[in-house]
Structure 1
Amino acid sequence: MAQAFPNSRFVGYDFHMGSVAAAKAHAEAHGLTNVQFEVGRAQDFDGRDFDLITCFDSLHDMGDPKAAASHIRKALKDGGTWMVVEPIAGDTLEENINPVRRLYYSASTMICVPTSLAQETGLALGAQAGERRLTEVIRSGGFTHIRRAAQSSLNMVLEAT
């Protein structure tokens, strides 16, 4: 994104110091000067007045996604947008019985749920939370307009304002 939009400023946050270090090295290797990376959790990162905040395949991994939603709402400027990309899933188990979603359940059991449970609150949404549950979490943060803006066979993109 920083390469595609050189006149914009980007800030990346992650609670994992090693991932932040790798992101900094990658940006430096590509000569990107409009991006910075910091260690921070989604529920209390520094920074305000963002036009757009994105979360890619991470809301379901957060220990306290409701606190994250609330903090993200406060970090957006008026009229700002939160873009949430999550694995596509139905709202019921029956909707999720196919080869791809079975794989998501398996990976979620070994990676996503333990990651969430290891953090404060430990809501453990998992990779197959479904749009209804994700929307509830997003709405709990003070967002009033939430829609599925796009989807692929693997992911859905939710837009929240």
Structure 2
Amino acid sequence: MRARFLDLILAKAFPKSTFFGFGYDGPSIERARALAKAEGVADRATFETATAKTYPGRDYDLVTFFDCLHDMGDPAGAAAHVHRSLRKDGTWMVVEPFANDKFEDNLNPVGRIFYAASTMICTPASLSQEVGLGLGAQAGEKRLTEVIKQGGFSRVRRAAETPFNLILEARP
């Protein structure tokens, strides 16, 4: 099965729009470029190597983060960079692992799996980076909102949720 990148799916669905994908892993970026060419959308879906605090560009209508804010050493710094890169009426969509705000409310089968992954992957990844906040995969809406607001956003709301994901909408 071929790997799918959201930018490619969106570029096909919205041919009058332009999409930019950024990531720190060079091989993933090369793979995305090859797929964009193969899918015939390389003219409107481009991929570059950059971090969440250094990606280029301004006046984006929409910036999306998928399952990554909790892994970052400096999520508030990433939030500030997103804030600077958006249009005044732009939106930041943040998709994170679903978590309740209280520890005891996460003691269910999914929460336990997320805690295990967070202990082995997410938290060490964050702690090994600049700032090292260590949010982990069970940050919860309240903590995520605090971090997003530290980046300069004034409005954050839960846009949707599934048993596995929490989707937040942040606006300047």
Q: Return the offset for 1:150.
A: 0.7
Identity over aligned residues, as a percent?
A: 55
Q: Return the offset for 1:152.
A: 0.9
Q: Return the offset for 1:112.
A: 1.1
Q: CA RMSD in A?
A: 0.9
Q: 2:150 aligns with which of 140, 147, 152?
A: 140
Q: Return the offset for 1:22.
A: 1.7
Q: What's the TM-score, normalizing by structure 2?
A: 0.90
Q: Deviations over 1:116-150 (max 9, x none)?
A: 12221111111110000000000001111100011
Which segments of 5 or more consecutive residues in structure 1 lack a partner in the other structure? Answer: none
Q: Which residue of 2 aligns with 1:74?
A: 84
Kindly tell me the number of residue pairs found equivalent between the two proteins. Answer: 161
Q: Deviations over 1:41-79 (max 9, x none)?
A: 111211111000000111101111000000100000110
d(CA) in 2 for partners of 1:107, 1:125? 13
Residues 1:41 and 2:51 aligned together: yes
Which segments of 5 or more consecutive residues in structure 2 lack a partner in the other structure? Answer: 1-9
- Tell which deviates more after alignment, 116-125 or 66-75: 116-125
Give secondary structure in 1 for the equivalent of 2:12: coil
Q: Residue type matched to 1:29 in 2?
A: A
Give secondary structure in 2 for the equivalent of 1:95: helix
Q: Residue type matched to 1:118 in 2?
A: S
Q: 1:116 aligns with which of 126, 131, 140?
A: 126
- Tell which deviates more after alignment, 111-120 or 30-39: 111-120
Q: Which residue of 2 aligns with 1:155?
A: 165
